[in-house]
Every structure is written in C-alpha cells, then in structure tokens.
Amino acid sequence: GIQVEQSPPDLILQEGANSTLRCNFSDSVNNLQWFHQNPWGQLINLFYIPSGTKQNGRLSATTVATERYSLLYISSSQTTDSGVYFCAGRNYGGSQGNLIFGKGTKLSVKP
Amino acid sequence: GAGVSQSPRYKVAKRGQDVALRCDPISGHVSLFWYQQALGQGPEFLTYFQNEAQLDKSGLPSDRFFAERPEGSVSTLKIQRTQQEDSAVYLCASSLERFGQPQHFGDGTRLSIL
C-alpha cells in the first residue's frame, strides 16, 4: 500500500504567524483529504482536494497530483488552530475505498 | 442527522468483556468505514460496508472483531473478549459513494480496557 509522509512532525508557532504543512505520497492517490483533530479528539474535515487549490478563510490547500504531494497553508494562526493535522488519500486505481493516513503534524499555537 | 453520530463517546471495560460500539452515518450515505486510532498515530482502516454488504474486512486485527450493518444504515462494531491492546479510539466515517467523495468522520468512541 501507499506510504504517507507528513512534515514537520511538530510545529510551535506564535499567534499570528503563518505556516505550511506538507504531505508526500509514495504513489498516486485519489480522494485526498486534510483533517484537523482538535484537543478533544474530533476529526474535522478541512479540505477534499484531489488536485488543484482551495481556500477556506485563513486556510488554503494545494495538491499537485502528478508530483504526489499536497500542502496546507495556515495564515494568521490562532490558538484554536492547535491540534493535529492529518492528510489522507486513497490508493489510486485500487479497489479499496479506505483512506490511508499520515502520522500527522502536531501544531501548538502560543498566545 | 447532520453528521456521523457515534455512541458511546467513552467506554471502559474489563479485560475479557465484550463491547459494542455504534455508528449512525449521515442519512443517504452508502459507504461506511470503521477506523482504529492508537494514541499518537493516524487512524487505520478496519472494515468497509457498501449499504448492508461488508465488502472489505482486511483491517480487522483478529477474529474477535466483528462488524455489521444489517439494514444498510446503522453499524455496530463488536469486540469480543477484549484485550488491553484493544484500547484505542474507534472512528466511523461515511461517504455518499465508495470513490470520489469525501469521508465524514464521527467524534469516535474512546475505548479503555482495564
């Protein structure tokens, strides 16, 4: 199966700073999604982004499917952005529909 | 409902007991997935349903794990003779279709085996 590598594993920011999180895939993927897992454990959909660029408020994401990576941009970070960010994708062309997750980036935003 | 609903939110059981975890997907969603998330890790796939049919159970860690979705809506994940290594968060997700649609996750059930 595909391998999903996320970087950096840990990130500490001062409130107001910007950041970029990266996700690399070992093979082509479909159904790429970004999630935020908050300190209460809830896994929240951020983006469904198999390719291209999307923006939602202070967050945006870009997927370059041909080069097998995706980026999540967080601008003007807030303390409520703290938590773990996961990317996940489905093996392109495979018969399985399940998502394969990376190990996540743990983000801490300090006031 | 508006989102995927899971119950109970927390479950504590003694080693050897059986547990049942419930998932109520988004209305009309054909596909339903169960994932297991160990502490500090990303979720890992357990099993998949398309309507009432269990099409993939390759991720179930042992024959003590059993899942069903008899009417193609609510699903139950059952763990028999629980072991300490079963302690984890169990997440349920649903999507409109198997491919080409985002998966929406419930809040999970945090299972602790004493």
Instruction: Give residue A59's domain range.
Output: 4-110
Question: A21-30, A75-84, B96-105: which has the highest mean pLDDT?
Answer: A75-84
Q: What pLDDT is attached to residue B1?
A: 52
Whether residue A31 is predicted with pLDDT greater than 90 in this model: the reply is: no
Q: Mention every residue, 6+ apart, whose C-beta is less than 8 A from residue B40.
A: none
Q: What pLDDT is attached to residue B73?
A: 95
The shortest C-alpha distance from B56 to chain A (Å) reads: 8
CATH number where A85 lies = 2.60.40.10
State how many domains chain A has. 1
Residues of B within an 8 Å Cβ radius of A: 31, 33, 35, 41-45, 48, 56, 58-59, 89, 91, 93, 95, 98-105, 107-108, 110
Instruction: Give residue B85's domain range.
Output: 5-113
**Are A105 and A11 in contact, with CB atoms under 8 Å apart?**
yes
- Region of B66 (left: φ > 0; alpha: ψ -120 to 50; beta: rest) is beta
State how many domains chain B has. 1
Q: What pLDDT is attached to residue B99?
A: 74
Q: Which of B41, B99, B104 sits opposite A97 (nearest CB)?
A: B99
Look over chain B and give the mean of its residue pLDDT values, rounded to a whole number: 95
User: Residues of B with CB below 8 A from A4's CB?
Assistant: 42
Mean pLDDT across B87-108: 91
Task: Give residue for tokens 């945006």.
Answer: A60
A98/B59 touch (CB, cutoff 8 Å), yes or no: yes
Q: What pLDDT is attached to residue A92?
A: 67
Q: What is the pLDDT of residues B10-44, one digit of tens each?
A: 999 999 999 999 999 999 999 999 999 999 999 99
Give whole-number Cα distances, A19 to A22, A47, A49, in Å. Answer: 10, 17, 19
Cα(A61)–Cα(B92) distance, integer angstroms: 25
Mean pLDDT across B79-106: 93
| Tokens matching residue B9 | 């939110």
Q: What pLDDT is attached to residue A19?
A: 97
Q: What is the pLDDT of residues A36-94, one digit of tens each?
A: 998 888 999 999 999 999 999 999 999 999 999 999 999 999 999 999 999 999 876 66
Rounded to 5°, the CA angle B54-A3-A99 comes to 30
B42/A90 touch (CB, cutoff 8 Å), yes or no: no
CATH number where B48 lies = 2.60.40.10
